[in-house]
Amino acid sequence: MNTCKPMHGTSKAKGCSHLSLGNFCKLFPDLKPWGEDCGVQHQCEAEYIAKLIGGVGGIMHDVNSDSSDSCLPAAYTFFAQFIDHDITLDSTSNLHGDPKSTEEVNTLPNMRSASLDLDCVYGFGPDVMPFLYDQTQTGRLYTGTDENKNDVPRDDQGRALIGDPRNDENLFVSQLQLIFLRFHNRRIVGRSFEDAQQDCRYHYQWLVLHDFLKRICDETIFNYALAEIKKGKYPKCDIRDKCHRLCMPIEFSVAAYRFGHTLVRSQYPANVDYPVIDLFDERFGTEGFSPVPPALTVDWRYLLDVEPCHEYVLSKAFDHLLADELIRMPDPIVGRFASENDRSLAFRNVLRGYALGLPSGQRVAAALKAKGYDINPGQNLHFDKLPTWPCIEKKYREKLESHTPLFLYLMREAGTVGNGQRLGPVGSAILLEVFEPCSSIAIASSSTKAGNQTRALPKATTLPSPTW
């Protein structure tokens, strides 16, 4: 029996020929899990350690707003979130439970195609998800509501009608979703749906590789990866399953790509009339998965470097500190009865790494070094300089220094080696290992369109205004 055939009912539908929903996997399946390295005896002990690291008042809680700014425009925080929702969706793993084996991880379904194909915008295409599309204009996506033309489309109950409901988690990622809906509608003029879709994917993949990753990755690691790509010697790890489909490494989805959490500010400007609003603002009812009030239509000039002489807000530093808003997330995001720990993204990230058997940061660093990366597995991350470090029991301090949970390791690496301005070498290598096969179209086209020269897109095309 052929287990690699396309999903029934989608192989010939418009917008679905690319579809290859796969599974999660491990970038380094043979590495010992962090929990084993630390001698964690039980789930309760893992939760205790996760609380020390990511709970209220823990190592990763930016209680006093001590984290400085990076040089990255704030809009990229939400672009990172948008990209994540395009390539990963784990709807089955349990946050609280015993660690999964490598074999069990390999069976976890990824409910997004692991390629940069904008399925969070297109869904499964107009034939399978017609409610996303304007039936009076072939291939055109719905935008706006009766109450606000500058919102994503919604049903009568205010639920967003979009390819991935997570892109309505907050005001800014919702408004970014609107940008891509409008971008497609502009590109479809005079074209077929398939041509417009391909054109949008090309632009999107180019942005991810040559603008987004270039801004956030360690420069040495980024240049090394591009040089190896041109030689045909990249990626260094194989992330295809037995059916030759891309799988999604949990080192990426559960640890490295969660760097965006540390970039989040508690407050942002929406526009000239509302220069300071909370990320989840009770005053406007924008606490997640809710309509965008017309008054809060985002003016991206306040969050992105698209207009000369216009001031814009920066993302927080790339470091181990998460804003209070992400340590005490509201009910619409985590549920009314969530515990104090479960409301913390930092706690959840560390505990999920344990539950899925992620290796320590030190083991991953050594494995990448063996692949040819210029990485120091013995990098000093200066845990002793953390204000809350002396408050942790000695036995746990010793374990965490030599066997650091991957998420904490990568965020601390960004703050020390990356000086808070970029990811460190290990985090950058993981991202590039995954994004290279995910964006093969853009890489192939860049060799012909740019004469094998790496170049950034003009700033004006990075993220257009949502008020087209």
Q: Is residue 447 part of a domain?
A: yes
Contact 112, 85 (CB under 8 A): yes
What DSSP character marks residue 422?
Answer: S
Which pLDDT does position 17 carry in this prediction? 41
The domain that holds 143 is classified in CATH as 1.10.640.10
* Least confident residue range of 11-15, 233-237, 347-351: 11-15
Q: Is residue 18 part of a domain?
A: no
> How many independent structural domains does the chain possess?
1
Tell me what percent of the chain is helix, strand and coil, each rounded to the nearest 5: 45, 5, 50
* Least confident residue range of 141-145, 277-281, 409-413: 277-281
Q: Is residue 445 part of a domain?
A: yes
Which pLDDT does position 14 carry in this prediction? 56
259-275 average pLDDT score = 95
Q: Is 443's pLDDT higher than 90? A: no
224-246 residue pLDDT tens: 999 999 999 999 999 988 878 88
What are residue 273's phi and psi, to 5 degrees?
-80, -25
Q: For the chain, what percent of residues have pLDDT higher than 70? A: 90
Q: Is residue 164 part of a domain?
A: yes
Q: Is 5's pLDDT higher than 60? A: no
Residue-wise DSSP of 196-230: HHHHHHHHHHHHIIIIIHHHHS-HHHHHHHHHHHH
Instruction: Report how far residue 115's alpha carbon sits from residue 22's, in angstroms, rounded to the nearest whole number.
Output: 10
Q: Is residue 245 part of a domain?
A: yes
Higher pLDDT, 22 or 146: 146
Q: Is residue 109 part of a domain?
A: yes
pTM: 0.88
* Least confident residue range of 17-21, 93-97, 250-254, 400-404: 17-21
Residue 399 belongs to domain spanning: 24-461
Q: Is 454's pLDDT higher than 50? A: no
* Least confident residue range of 243-247, 311-315, 372-376: 243-247
Average pLDDT score over the chain: 88
Which pLDDT does position 120 carry in this prediction? 92
138-155 average pLDDT score = 96
Q: Is residue 379 part of a domain?
A: yes
Which pLDDT does position 440 carry in this prediction? 57
The 3-state DSSP class for residue 288 equals coil
Q: Is residue 11 part of a domain?
A: no
What tokens appear for 21 in the block?
């929903």
